[in-house]
Amino acid sequence: MEVDEATLFLPINGAVVAVQPAGQTVDGLLRILRTGAPITAWLHASQHLLATGREGFEALLSEGIEREQQGQRSDVFGHIQALCSLAEFHVQQAAAERDRRQRILLLSSATELCHKAQRLNIKEQLPELVLGAVALVKNDVTAAKKGFEKAISMRCNGRPSIAPHLALASLHFNQRNYTEALRLYKLVLRTCPSCPAEVRLGIAACCLKAGNMEKAELAYKRTLQLLPNCTAALLGLAVLKLHVSNKEQDMREGSLLLAQAFEQDPDNPFVLLLLAHLCLRQGFMEKARQLAQTVLQHGGHNSVQAEALTILARAHHALGHMQEAFRCYQQAAQLDPKLPLPKLGLAQMSVFVGEPINAVSMLESLLMDAPQWIDALQVLGRVYPKTTLKSTKVVPQFKEAAAQRPKDAELWELLGDLLSSQEPAGALKAYVKAIEIRRDALQASLAAEGSSQLPPRLLNNAAVLHLRAGNSDVSYALMAEAMQAAGGLGLEGVSSLAQITLGYNMARVKESCGNLKAAEAEYKDLLKQFPQYGDCYLRLACISKARGNTKVALQWAEQAVNKPAFQSDALALIAGLHLERRDYHNAKQVLDKLLGQADSKQVAFAKLAMANLHAYSAPSGKRKDDSIRKAETHYTHALELYRRVLEKDEGCIFAANGIGCVLAELGNLSAAKEVFLQVQEASAASNGFWRMPDAWINLANVYLAQQQYTPAIQMYKNALRKFYDNRNAVIMLYLARAQYDADQMPEATRTLTKALHLAPTDHNLRFDVAVTLQESAVRTLQKKTQSGDPNRHKELVRAVRDLARAHRFFQQLHGLGRESGLDSRKLQQHINFIAVTHSSATLHVEKAKEDAQLAEQRQAAAMAQAVAQEKSRQLTEGKKLAEQDAERRRQEEQARSDAERLKQLQEQWRTNATMQKAVATGDASVVPKGGITDGEAALNARVDALFETSEDDDDYVPDGDDDGQEGRDAAEDDAVLDEPAGQSAHLSKSKHQAVLDEDEDADAS
């Protein structure tokens, strides 16, 4: 029977009446129904009204229900259906209702209706389902879930129904619990294979969300087979092709699918939205805007509206209509607070209007809900540098996101940007990775495209970090590539600002590579073009400083002071120059000025420098109470400043180092050591980004003060090699001091000599060389040795010569008078001491010379004796050999006679009858032969034994002497150790003074 869809067949009074509701007014329908229609008829009619979008559903259904209640009809299920229908209607109204009170009213009415229905039949499923929906609108997901789950265990009019399964699946889906949703959809499909195609749609959506693209595609396709015109399935497939894949073919297919969906259902908001998305993506902003506007005009669910507004906002955003974009984002965010995109947009807007801190807080909360959302991370990554906030919170997310995307160069670069301020080593790694990715990509596409340039920005940033890490060569190569890349892009590709930056960095790299001349020229060139570029002044000052021309350096720095943006840097540099010259007065003035600038970037530096200044200028004289008190004030001041810096920046190793120094100065060596060890560790962990030679030196100084000479020496040597190209006279002085204290006199002398070679004008060094020579000579002279040591004379000659050299040095230094900066009384003492020692030493030498001659004679005698012994030994040996010979001959003789006797015996045996048998079975000749072999072996053994003893004799002569020598050496060592320090104590003090003074100097650099 062909039925017009619009025709309603209503069973009224036992007859079926065909009604054309389209032609009827609501009143007309009422009239027909009032003639005694059963509740089902009322339900159908009202549902028809709802489906066709006409008014009157509620009125119609309410009247039907009322009549049913009064009429005592027996159609309980129909009654329940009607009640639940009305309840469901109220639920939907409530969901769309903005007014909270109204919504509560609607929901309570729906709940009441359901309860009514439940009173009719408590086991009926429908009311439970609707109650679940009520709970959902109330946002009580747990209650909704319970409701749906309960409904699953019930029946609908006595039959099982899949409706609660679907409701629960949808709930799980919305809760992003895709696996559970998928399980339910699958269950439905199994129990009811004839279920609506929408179930497959649900499966597809679940698969899509869970990332199982293949299954999703299959499910969508199956849906389309069942319902070829299913817009949702088309849309789903289109999404799959357009958003998930990046292949060109998929894009085309996706567009086709979308077009099909659009043709089919041009008003479907989801189709329009996806279309708008596509337009956005392809840059048709105006078109996207129109589409979104259409969706908005059609109205619909909040989430759809919000989505449309978001697209609208993004279109405006892209078109540069910031105000409208802002408005749209805001509306969207209000409509659907769960939608992340509008918030991202709002964050971007905040950045745009110069409120990066707002943006950061928005993005951070966004990322809490949606961790590792790349877009948000990317925006955040770009915002952080604009704020003073610490990006520590999202860094782990960033790192994880990057680790999961090993091909995303942009993300790695962003990670680099993010890390550059707080974790330069990590940043460098990220940049290197980004470059690597890009190079790989380039190599892959090189055949297709000609260009082979990396973004100059990335290259530049990586180069800068390499420079900071001390890899000048790598940095230079990258910088050169960046310049080339920038040149390739032309002026349009790279802003003029970026060009300046590149130029400056290139000069900076050249400077660090040692090409000061080129760097200088380039800085000057940049200044000609951009006189405001204060960094160039500062670098020029640094170059002059590196050349040792402090005057010019100060001039350049002064010029930068006039540029407000660079004032604090320039002041810091000037303070550094003064400090280097130990001009504490001027340094303090500059630092005071620097500290006076409230928002100066260099506050931390100024505090540190001021703290150092206090520490340096603390009087070191320990004799006067006054100076002790003064020193204490200085150190307290310094400590306080260091502490304040550390409060702001707990990772500041300079401040930590400073604290260590002060602790050491105050005598708390173990605490100082602890601090220095930590600083050293931190410095080592930074992969060369924080070069902190001071930590090494200070640690070594502490070791030295604690008399742990071996680690001290090792530490000084490492520091010299690692940080100073083995050419820092001050640290060599420390090293020599440690070697001296460790009783390594020759090494100490050598180290001091090398230091003096580097710094020939350093009177302290010359003095120390002389002291070491003197001490070394004294120790040699005092060495208790057995007379007759042949080396003794040589040693003494050398000692006397050393004394003479030391004397020369002391006299020269004494002659300098005040100029030497040394205590002339002390020098005179040295001179006098040497004069005395020298004369007594010459006696020693004479004695030793005699001894040596004696020893020589003795040695000659010993030699002669040895020769004689050798001769006699040879003689004895000859004799022995002769004896052996005789013995051998005797034995041979014996053997021969034995053999002969054997022969005779054999002859006898042969004649013996019983022996004949044995002869017949074996070879009798073996017997006598064996006898002879044994005899020979015995002989050999005897000869071997002889030679063994003669070898022992050989070793005999020199052995005894060696033992004696060893014994003496050991005795000498003891003597040296026990020997009183004498002059060395005096030296210790003076040298310790020098060490401490210079220590401060090392800190200054």
Partner 1 sequence: MRLSLLQRLEDAHDDSVWAAAWAPNSNTLVTGSVDESVKLWQESGDTLEQQHHLVGLSLGVLGVSVDSSGQYGAASSLDSYVTVWNMEDYSTVHQFTDIPPSEAWGLAFAPAGEKLLLAVAGGSSNGVRLLDVNAKEQAATLAMPDVTDKQRKERFVLSVAYSPDGRRIAAGGMDGTVALFDTATGKLLHTLDGHFKPVRDLCFTPDSSMVITACDDNHAHLYAAEQGELVEAFSGHESWVLSVSAHPSGTAFATGSSDSKVKLWDMQTRTCAQTCSEHTDQVWGVRFRADGARLASTSDDRSVCLFDFAG
Q: What is the contact surface with partner 1 in residues (CB under 8 A)? A: 472, 513-518, 546-551, 725-727, 749-750, 753-754, 756-757, 760-761, 766, 769, 801, 805, 808-809, 812, 815
Q: What residues contact residue 529 under an 8 Å CB cut-off, 6+ apart?
A: 500
**In this complex, which beta carbon is closest to partner 1, that of residue 465 or of residue 519?**
519
Tell me the closest approach of the beta carbon of residue 968 to partner 1, in angstroms. Answer: 26
Tell me the closest approach of the beta carbon of residue 772 to partner 1, in angstroms. Answer: 11
Whether the Cβ atoms of residue 698 and residue 654 lie closer than 8 Å to each other: no
Tell me the closest approach of the beta carbon of residue 756 to partner 1, in angstroms. Answer: 7
**In this complex, which beta carbon is closest to partner 1, that of residue 754 or of residue 783?**
754
Residue 1001 is encoded by which pair of tokens? 């100097």
Distances (CA, A) of 508 to 483, 527, 575, 861: 13, 14, 22, 75
Task: Tell me which residue of 601, 95, 17 sits closest to 302, measured CA to CA.
Answer: 95
User: What's the distance, CA 813 to chain centroid?
Assistant: 55
**In this complex, which beta carbon is closest to partner 1, that of residue 13 or of residue 761?**
761
Give the burial class of 747: count Cβ atoms within 10 A of its Cβ; 0-12 exposed, 13-18 middle, 19 or more buried.
middle
Long-range contacts of the stretch 913-919 (C-beta < 8 A, 24+): none
Tell me the closest approach of the beta carbon of residue 395 to partner 1, in angstroms. Answer: 34
Residue 248 is encoded by which pair of tokens? 């060109």
Tell me the closest approach of the beta carbon of residue 558 to partner 1, in angstroms. Answer: 16
**In this complex, which beta carbon is closest to partner 1, that of residue 812 or of residue 906?**
812
Tell me the closest approach of the beta carbon of residue 562 to partner 1, in angstroms. Answer: 24
**In this complex, which beta carbon is closest to partner 1, that of residue 473 or of residue 870?**
473
Q: How far apart are CA 785 and CA 782, in angstroms?
A: 9
**In this complex, which beta carbon is closest to partner 1, that of residue 173 or of residue 716?**
716
Task: Tell me which residue of 660, 730, 673 sits closest to 716, measured CA to CA.
Answer: 730
**In this complex, which beta carbon is closest to partner 1, that of residue 520 or of residue 1000?**
520
Q: What residues contact residue 227 under an 8 Å CB cut-off, 6+ apart?
A: 197, 233
Whether the Cβ atoms of residue 587 and residue 609 lie closer than 8 Å to each other: yes
Q: What residues contact residue 934 under an 8 Å CB cut-off, 6+ apart?
A: none
Tell me the closest approach of the beta carbon of residue 526 to partner 1, in angstroms. Answer: 18
| Local structure of 30: helix, strand or coil | helix
**In this complex, which beta carbon is closest to partner 1, that of residue 252 or of residue 808?**
808
Tell me the closest approach of the beta carbon of residue 522 to partner 1, in angstroms. Answer: 12
Q: How far apart are CA 454 and CA 847, in angstroms?
A: 81
Q: Helix and strand tally (H, E) in the chain?
A: 45, 2
**In this complex, which beta carbon is closest to partner 1, that of residue 728 or of residue 984?**
728
Radius of gyration of the chain (CA): 51
User: What's the distance, CA 951 to chain centroid?
Assistant: 69
Tell me the closest approach of the beta carbon of residue 939 to partner 1, in angstroms. Answer: 55
Residue 226 is encoded by which pair of tokens? 């069942």
Tell me the closest approach of the beta carbon of residue 754 to partner 1, in angstroms. Answer: 6
**In this complex, which beta carbon is closest to partner 1, that of residue 750 or of residue 986?**
750
Q: How far apart are CA 499 and CA 505, in angstroms?
A: 10
**In this complex, which beta carbon is closest to partner 1, that of residue 223 or of residue 749?**
749
**In this complex, which beta carbon is closest to partner 1, that of residue 14 or of residue 548?**
548
Tell me the closest approach of the beta carbon of residue 749 to partner 1, in angstroms. Answer: 8
Give the burial class of 216: count Cβ atoms within 10 A of its Cβ; 0-12 exposed, 13-18 middle, 19 or more buried.
buried
Q: How far apart are CA 400 and CA 373, in angstroms?
A: 11
**In this complex, which beta carbon is closest to partner 1, that of residue 288 or of residue 756?**
756
Q: CB 349: neighbour CB atoms within 10 A? A: 22
**In this complex, which beta carbon is closest to partner 1, that of residue 57 or of residue 476?**
476
The one-letter code for the residue type at 402 is A
Instruction: Please tell me the number of Cα atoms within 13 Å of 934 on its side-chain side.
Output: 8
**In this complex, which beta carbon is closest to partner 1, that of residue 157 or of residue 753?**
753
DSSP secondary structure of 170-234: HHHHHTT-HHHHHHHHHHHHHH-TTS-HHHHHHHHHHHHHHT-HHHHHHHHHHHHHH-TT-HHHH
Tell me the closest approach of the beta carbon of residue 686 to partner 1, in angstroms. Answer: 21
Tell me the closest approach of the beta carbon of residue 800 to partner 1, in angstroms. Answer: 13
Tell me the closest approach of the beta carbon of residue 574 to partner 1, in angstroms. Answer: 16
Tell me the closest approach of the beta carbon of residue 812 to partner 1, in angstroms. Answer: 5
Whether the Cβ atoms of residue 512 and residue 475 lie closer than 8 Å to each other: yes
Distances (CA, A) of 869 to 8, 274, 503, 861, 863: 143, 113, 87, 12, 10
Give the burial class of 183: count Cβ atoms within 10 A of its Cβ; 0-12 exposed, 13-18 middle, 19 or more buried.
middle
**In this complex, which beta carbon is closest to partner 1, that of residue 380 or of residue 720?**
720
Instruction: Identify each DSSP E strand in 490-646 by its residue range.
Output: none
Tell me the closest approach of the beta carbon of residue 771 to partner 1, in angstroms. Answer: 14
Tell me the closest approach of the beta carbon of residue 704 to partner 1, in angstroms. Answer: 23
Distances (CA, A) of 563 to 533, 536, 571, 604: 8, 11, 11, 21
Q: How far apart are CA 60 and CA 28, in angstroms?
A: 11
Q: How far apart are CA 633 and CA 679, in angstroms?
A: 25
Residue 997 is encoded by which pair of tokens? 């003074």
Tell me the closest approach of the beta carbon of residue 597 to partner 1, in angstroms. Answer: 29
**In this complex, which beta carbon is closest to partner 1, that of residue 252 or of residue 757?**
757
**In this complex, which beta carbon is closest to partner 1, that of residue 408 or of residue 775?**
775
Task: Tell me which residue of 983, 978, 992 sits closest to 772, measured CA to CA.
Answer: 983
